[in-house]
C-alpha cells in the first residue's frame, strides 16, 4: 500500500472477471473515487484483470489495466494487494485458495463457490490471518453479511427472499395471471433470468445463499444438499388467487430457525399472511427478515442483482479490507439438522379437478377421516371445465399429510394436488 500526499492510501488490486459485476465495480470505483478518498482515505487502483476473451470490449474504465487469461496470474502479480473475484463458478476455488495462502485478502461474489467451500475457505482465512469478504454473494446490494458480522444479538430465525428471478416470476404469475413458462420468458426478455433458469426456479441459487446466511446469522454450517429445496415449477396462477382469498400471498422463501433440539432449514414456496413484511416484496427485489433475541424483528430490503447494485457490495468489502475493519468468519458450531418434514406447521392444499358437484364435500370428508382440520377454503374456476379447490389445514407434519395427497390423487376426476407450508 502506498500513501499519496493528501494522505490517501492507494490499494492496488487484481480482478478475476470483468463481466456484468466486474464492469460495475470499475464503473462504481471511477464514479465514487473522490468520495472513497474523502470518506475512507482510500483509492483503489486496478492493475490486472483476468478474463476468458481478451478481445471483448470492457467499457471505458480499463485504461492502464493489464488483461490476462489466467486467474493465477492475477493472484501472483506482485503489485496486487487485494484480489477481487467476480468470475463465478467452482473453478475459481484454486485462485481463491492461492490468494489466501499468499495472504492477499479476497473479495468474492461467487455464491456457488462460497456455499460449496465456505468451511475450507474460513479455515484457510483464519490460519493465514487473511480476511475474505463475500457480501455480494448473498443478496447483492443488501448489506446483510456486514450487519450480521457485527451483530451483538442472537438471531433465532431468518426468512428471506434471495432470488430476484423467482420473485419476479411469482409476481408476474400473481399479478398478470401468467403461467410459469410465460413469466420465465418475460424475465429472460428483461435480462432478469438466465437462458437456463433452473438454478433460480428450482431453488438451488437460494439454497447456496441460505447456506452462507445461516453460517453468518446462526453460526452453523449446512451445505446446500443437506436441507430440502423445493422450486416453484408446480405453482399455478390459481394458487395466488386461492391464497389471496384466504388472506395469504405466496413467496419463494429461504428459511432457517434455531430450535431447542437443532436447526431447521429449507427453501420452498410458502404462504405468508398478507400482512407479513415479506408478502409485500414484489418484482425482482430481495429481502431478509430476522427474528433476534434482543432486538426483536429486523429487515433488509433491496436489489439482489445487477452490475452496479452488486458492485456496491463488492466495493463495500474492499473498503473494509483496506481499512482492516472486516470481521473474520468464526468457525461454525456443530448443529443437528432437523428434518423439516417432521415438524408441525399449517398447510395449504390445492386440488385441481374436473368440475363436479359434491367434489369439495368428498375432499373435506377424506381430510376429516384422515384426522385433518380444514380452517379455511376457497374455490376458483380453471381452464377447460376444471376447478381449483384450496384449503388451509390445521398444523401437522408434511409426513402426516403425504398419504392424503396420494388418496386425493386416487379420487376420480382429480388432476393435480399441491401442498405448501404456511409460515408467519
Ligand atoms: N450479475 C449479478 O447480478 C450478480 C449478483 C450477485 C452475484 N453475482 C455473482 O458475481 C459473479 C460474476 O457474475 P457476472 O454476472 O458478472 O458474470 P458474467 O457477466 O458472466 O462475467 C463473468 C466474467 O468472468 C470471466 N471469467 C469467467 N471464467 C473465467 C476464467 N476461467 N478465467 C478468466 N476469466 C473468467 C468472464 O470472461 P469473459 O467476459 O471473457 O467471458 C467474464 O468477464 C458470479 O459469481 C455471480 O454469481 C452476480
Domain positions in the chain are 2-139, 144-303, 344-422
Per-residue confidence (pLDDT) for residue 384, from 0 to 100: 82
- What region does 166 belong to: left with phi over 0, alpha with psi -120 to 50, or beta? alpha
- Overall CATH class of domain 344-422: alpha beta
CATH of 144-303, one of 3.60.20.10, 3.40.50.970, 3.30.360.10, 3.40.50.1980: 3.30.360.10
Reported as a single tens digit per residue, the pLDDT across 208-230 is: 999 999 999 999 999 899 999 99
Reported as a single tens digit per residue, the pLDDT across 90-122 is: 999 999 999 999 999 999 999 999 999 998 999
Residues touching ligand 1 (Cβ under 6 Å) are 16-22, 50-53, 56, 69, 71, 86-88, 91, 109-111, 136, 140, 305-306, 310
Per-residue confidence (pLDDT) for residue 332, from 0 to 100: 85
Pocket probe mutation, ligand 1, options 20, 58, 117, 194, max atoms within 8 Å of Cβ: 20
Distance, in Å, from the CA atom of 24 to the CA atom of 21, rounded to the nearest integer, reads: 5
**317 closest CA partner among 105, 165, 148, 90:** 105
Cα 241 off chain centre by: 26
Ligand 1 atom closest to the CA of 18, numbered from 1: 43
- The helix-helix angle for 93-101 and 111-128 (nearest 10°) equals 20
CA 238 / ligand 1 centre spacing (Å):
37
CA 350 / ligand 1 centre spacing (Å):
40
CA 21 / ligand 1 centre spacing (Å):
7
CATH 3.40.50.720 given to domain 2-139 = yes
Question: Torsions phi, psi of 361, nearest 5?
Answer: -65, -40
Among the options 5, 209, 223, 384, which is catalytic? 209
pLDDT at 405 over 70: yes
- Residue 209 is among the residues annotated as catalytic for this protein: yes
Between 329 and 294, name the one with better pLDDT: 294
Reported as a single tens digit per residue, the pLDDT across 347-400 is: 999 999 999 888 899 999 999 999 999 999 999 998 888 999 999 999 999 999
CA 53 / ligand 1 centre spacing (Å):
12
* 345, 231 contact by CB (below 8 A): no
Half-sphere exposure of 185 (CA within 13 A, CB side): 5
Cell numbers at 139, concatenated:
443478496
CA 23 / ligand 1 centre spacing (Å):
10
pLDDT at 327 over 90: no
Question: Torsions phi, psi of 226, nearest 5?
Answer: -95, 0
Q: What average pLDDT score do residues 321-330 get?
A: 88
Distance, in Å, from the CA atom of 319 to the CA atom of 40, rounded to the nearest integer, reads: 7
pLDDT at 150 over 90: no
Per-residue confidence (pLDDT) for residue 5, from 0 to 100: 66
Per-residue confidence (pLDDT) for residue 1, from 0 to 100: 65
Reported as a single tens digit per residue, the pLDDT across 122-137 is: 999 999 999 999 999 9
CA 7 / ligand 1 centre spacing (Å):
34
Average pLDDT, the chain: 95
CA 86 / ligand 1 centre spacing (Å):
5
Reported as a single tens digit per residue, the pLDDT across 7-53 is: 899 999 999 999 999 999 999 999 999 999 999 999 999 999 999 99
CB count in 10 Å sphere of residue 176 = 11
Amino acid at each position: 500500500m502506498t500513501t499519496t500526499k493528501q494522505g490517501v492510501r492507494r490499494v492496488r488490486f487484481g480482478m478475476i472477471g470483468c463481466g456484468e459485476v466486474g464492469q460495475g465495480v470499475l464503473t462504481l470505483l471511477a464514479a465514487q473515487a473522490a468520495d472513497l478518498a474523502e470518506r475512507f482515505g482510500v483509492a483503489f487502483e486496478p492493475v490486472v484483470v483476468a478474463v476468458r476473451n481478451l478481445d471483448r470490449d470492457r467499457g471505458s474504465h480499463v485504461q492502464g489495466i493489464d488483461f490476462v487469461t489466467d486467474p493465477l496470474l492475477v493472484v501472483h502479480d506482485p503489485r496486487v494487494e487485494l484480489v477481487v473475484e467476480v468470475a463465478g463458478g467452482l473453478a475459481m476455488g484454486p485462485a481463491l485458495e492461492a490468494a489466501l495462502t499468499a495472504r492477499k485478502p479476497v473479495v468474492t461474489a461467487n455464491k456457488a463457490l462460497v456455499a460449496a467451500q465456505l468451511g475450507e475457505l474460513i479455515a484457510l482465512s483464519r490460519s493465514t490471518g487473511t480476511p475474505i469478504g463475500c457480501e455480494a454473494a448473498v443478496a447483492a446490494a443488501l448489506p446483510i453479511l456486514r450487519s450480521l458480522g457485527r451483530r451483538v444479538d442472537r438471531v433465532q430465525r431468518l426468512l428471506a427472499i434471495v432470488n430476484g428471478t423467482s420473485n419476479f416470476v411469482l409476481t408476474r404469475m400473481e399479478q398478470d395471471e401468467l403461467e410459469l413458462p410465460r413469466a420465465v420468458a418475460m424475465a429472460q426478455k428483461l435480462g432478469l433470468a438466465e437462458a437456463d433458469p433452473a438454478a433460480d426456479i428450482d431453488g438451488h441459487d437460494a439454497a447456496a445463499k441460505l447456506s452462507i446466511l445461516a453460517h453468518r446469522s446462526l453460526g452453523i454450517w449446512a451445505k446446500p444438499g443437506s436441507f430440502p429445496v423445493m422450486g416453484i415449477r408446480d405453482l399455478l396462477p390459481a394458487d395466488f388467487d386461492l391464497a389471496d382469498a384466504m388472506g395469504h400471498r405466496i413467496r419463494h422463501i429461504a428459511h432457517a430457525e434455531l430450535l431447542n433440539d437443532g436447526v431447521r432449514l429449507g427453501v420452498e414456496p410458502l404462504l405468508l399472511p398478507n400482512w407479513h413484511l415479506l408478502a409485500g416484496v414484489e418484482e425482482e427485489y430481495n429481502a431478509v427478515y430476522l427474528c433476534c433475541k434482543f432486538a426483536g424483528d429486523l429487515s433488509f430490503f433491496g436489489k439482489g442483482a445487477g452490475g452496479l447494485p452488486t458492485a456496491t457490495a463488492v466495493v463495500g468489502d474492499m473498503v473494509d479490507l483496506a481499512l482492516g475493519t472486516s470481521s473474520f468468519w468464526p468457525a461454525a458450531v456443530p448443529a443437528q439438522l432437523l428434518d423439516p418434514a417432521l415438524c408441525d406447521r399449517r398447510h395449504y392444499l390445492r386440488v385441481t379437478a374436473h368440475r363436479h358437484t359434491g367434489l369439495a364435500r368428498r375432499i373435506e370428508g377424506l381430510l376429516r377421516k384422515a384426522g385433518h382440520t380444514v380452517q379455511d377454503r376457497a374455490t376458483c374456476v380453471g381452464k377447460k371445465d376444471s376447478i381449483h379447490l384450496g384449503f388451509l389445514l390445521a398444523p401437522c407434519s408434511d409426513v402426516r399429510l403425504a398419504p392424503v395427497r396420494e388418496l386425493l390423487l386416487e379420487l376420480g376426476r382429480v388432476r393435480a394436488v399441491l401442498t405448501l407450508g404456511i409460515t408467519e
